[in-house]
Structure 1
Amino acid sequence: MASSKVAIITGASSGIGQKSAIALSKAGWSITLYARRLENLRETKAMCANPDQILVVQGDVTDEEGVKSLFHKTVEHFGRLDLLFNNAGINAPAVPIEELSLEKFQQVTNINLIGTFLCTREAVKIFKAQTPQGGRIINNGSISAYTPRPNTAPYTATKHAVLGMTKSTLLDGRKFNITCTQIDIGNAATSMASGHAAGILQANGEVTAEHMMDAQHVGDTIAYIAGLPPDVTMLTVNIMATRMPFVGRG
């Protein structure tokens, strides 16, 4: 099955990944949805405007062979790849660093950073080899790629690292018509960020309920970036709830 616009979305079973799949499908994209929860992936597929243009692949971004298979299946099914959205990510419990286990730190690193590396590597291989050459990668960064919350060392460290990956990918891909964007999201209403609305620790020691925004705005932004011509790059894009404490945080 050939298509002029083909995307892979990791972490597509819920939240930002799901909203992005809906927005891209509405814009006419064919999409491979990738995540660990198969039933949730099927739910995402059913929500898309054109479910017949959706391929579901179950797997984990930390599994190297699984990631290779994801990209192979996508090209085998759709004929090419135009967009990778590295969206899969997790956080660690908000505890002081001396209480954090190495296992938990490595788990966050493996999903947020190593997973981004593995998927980027496989996408770049395809982008360089296909005709016409090139493609676009969007990395899900975070407000925390710039300013941390209290007790978030693993998440903050990995998101700073993803920013470095974003810049390196853009630089190294330039002559191959490969571009890369980082979207930095603040307080989108997803299950991962649900606690922010109830109250979250601030730098001054207070626990404050924060304003949230509809996650579909993020999905629509992903679709906009994806629709840009290949000679246009948005290096970093910030989208956040207007009244969330980021500017002046701390």
Structure 2
Amino acid sequence: MTRVEPPRTAVVTGAGTGIGRATARAFLDAGWAVALAGRTLGTLIEAGAQHPLALPVVADVTDADSVRALFAAVVERFGRVDVVFNNAGVPGPAGAVDEIDLVEWERTMAVNVTGAMRVAAEAVRTMKAQTPQGGRILNNGSIAAHRPRPRTVAYAVSKHAMTGLTRSIALDGRPFGITCGQIDIGNAATDLLADLGEGRGFTQPDGIIRPEPVFDVADAARAVVLMAELPPDAVIGSLTITAAGMPFDGRG
């Protein structure tokens, strides 16, 4: 009799919209069990499309109890956590360092930095405790982790911090079979990207606003699943995927 292995389990934060939604669906299509985490139940249910391996969980990455409850729900339902896509984030305020409001700065850091750290910390605790021990954390950075756009200081700083988080987890996770990688995405076609461009294009370093190429968010999601599905003895530590022809080299 053929033994049927249980599906691998992924946790995706910010799964109701954009890159998170596309990635959750890509994992489901690839046969994974997926916990879709986010702040709005309706969008999570819609993103999961009633798939039998989809588990919508309302969770706020800025709330420690909420994050603990998320991982407890995943372990209760699926038994373990194999991969976490640490994706939840906000664009932050528009403005130069002398213009942005400190409250908005702190809100950006609370979600993009402390929230990401909180999710990673709970993921590591879970992966250390399970049998067999280990797992993989994938952090969603941004090409802003390499080169910022003008007037995006809060977002850019938060994504540079994500790189430090990624490298620290990768180092500290080694003794426990926990790997960590970061995907930096540029101009995947999402509602958030459209809002940032305000329908007119994007401000360039010379101050001119011009349209930029975009690419299908489903292709960004496929790249995340590729990183996730490598065997435990291999890891993509850093992957950058952008729309072909967008300003990246030479930007900043």
Scaled by the length of structure 1, what TM-score is found? 0.96
Q: CA RMSD in A?
A: 1.2
Distance 2:47 2:70 in 1: 17
In the alignment, is residue 218 of structure 1 matched against residue 244 of structure 2?
no
In the alignment, is residue 178 of structure 1 matched against residue 178 of structure 2?
yes
* Map of 1:230 onto structure 2: 232
* Map of 2:241 onto structure 1: 239
* Map of 1:204 onto structure 2: 206
Distance 2:45 2:72 in 1: 20
Q: 1:87 Cα shift?
A: 0.3
* Map of 1:157 onto structure 2: 157
User: Is there any run of 5+ residues in structure 1 with no aligned partner, and where?
Assistant: none
* Map of 2:87 onto structure 1: 87
* Map of 1:7 onto structure 2: 10
Q: Find 2:34's aligned residue among 21, 31, 36.
A: 31
Distance 1:206 1:188 in 2: 21
Scaled by the length of structure 2, what TM-score is found? 0.95
User: Is there any run of 5+ residues in structure 2 with no aligned partner, and where?
Assistant: none
The C-alpha deviation readout for 1:36-74, integer Å capped at 9, x for no partner, is 11111111011x7xx111111112110110000000110
Distance 1:22 1:30 in 2: 10
Distance 1:61 1:22 in 2: 21
The 8 Å contact of residues 181 and 235 in structure 2, kept in 1 or not, is answered as: yes
Percent identity over the alignment? 44
In the alignment, is residue 133 of structure 1 matched against residue 136 of structure 2?
no
The 8 Å contact of residues 86 and 138 in structure 1, kept in 2 or not, is answered as: yes
The C-alpha deviation readout for 1:103-162, integer Å capped at 9, x for no partner, is 100111011011111111111011111111100000000001011111111100010000
Residue 151 of structure 1 aligns with an amino acid whose one-letter code is: R
The 8 Å contact of residues 57 and 70 in structure 2, kept in 1 or not, is answered as: yes
Distance 2:96 2:82 in 1: 41
